[in-house]
Amino acid sequence: MSRKSHKALIGITTCGQHGALPFSVARDYLDAVRAAGGTPILLPPGETDPSILLEPLDGLIISGGGDINPVCYNGCNHPSIYSVDCERDAFELQLAKLALESHLPVLGICRGLQILIVGCGGTLIPHVPEVYGTSVLHRLEPEAGKRLPTEHIVKIDVKSRLASCVQNTHISVVSWHHQAVHKVPPGWRVVAHALEDEVIEAVECEYHPWALGVQWHPELSANDPHHQRIFQAFVQATVRQWSIVNSQ
């Protein structure tokens, strides 16, 4: 890459196309990237060679969305599983693998965290309430046509990259998920839990310069400095990585 005036190009995965519905992603992701100084590029599923899409990018955000097909992690089906998109699963699992192998900075958000974990051999809890109960509502029951995120407190490992990013060890987060990480694969470590029920809320890759997954939606709290700093740190990491690559 040889851009004279560098501004980080950040790829953001999108939901798949269902019938007449278009590929889509919430604008909050784009706004958060732009506020942090990056330029968002949308990555719809279906590309047969995802490496072509990653080549011009400086960083990758794997966005939220429907559940991952349990087949991808040898899991069991569950009546609560919804919006499975096998094309998107295959596409994002490939993207995640390529990004990690190439040391491209990557941020997984909600489903995106789960893609990173599943792609590296980890597993998921099909339905959080069946394992952790309902002391924390990680997702309110949806109403027709409405998205109902919920808030709770997350505690963060003081020695983690995430704690350095948000400059705190306890923050309020906005969640929208009913699944969570079960088995963490080798090379990843858990760096945050829900305060009350201990659900895994964030993971970091130990062999990668900057790979972070958060189970909540920081883009929905973009005006909160703690969540802004996640995107700022991510974009800064992409610029540093670009500088390293282009100085070699």
SS (H, E, C) the chain: CCCCCCCCEEEEECECCCCCCCCECCHHHHHHHHHCCCEEEEECCCCCCHHHHHCCCCEEEECCCCCCCHHHHCCCCCCCCCCCCHHHHHHHHHHHHHHHHCCCCEEEECHHHHHHHHHCCCCEECCHHHHHCCCCCCCCCCCCCCCCCEEEEEEECCCCHHHHHHCCCEEEEEECCCCEECCCCCCEEEEEEECCCCCEEEEEECCCCCEEEECCCHHHHCCCHHHHHHHHHHHHHHHHHHHHHHHC
Of 131, 132, 105, 114, the closest CA to residue 185 belongs to 114
Is 178 annotated as catalytic?
no
User: What is the length of the chain?
Assistant: 248
The active-site residue out of 177, 217, 226, 227 is 217
The active-site residue out of 15, 72, 110, 165 is 110
Q: Return d(Cα 121, Cα 123) in angstroms, integer.
A: 7
The active-site residue out of 92, 177, 219, 226 is 219
Is 217 annotated as catalytic?
yes
**Which residues are catalytic, by number?**
110, 217, 219
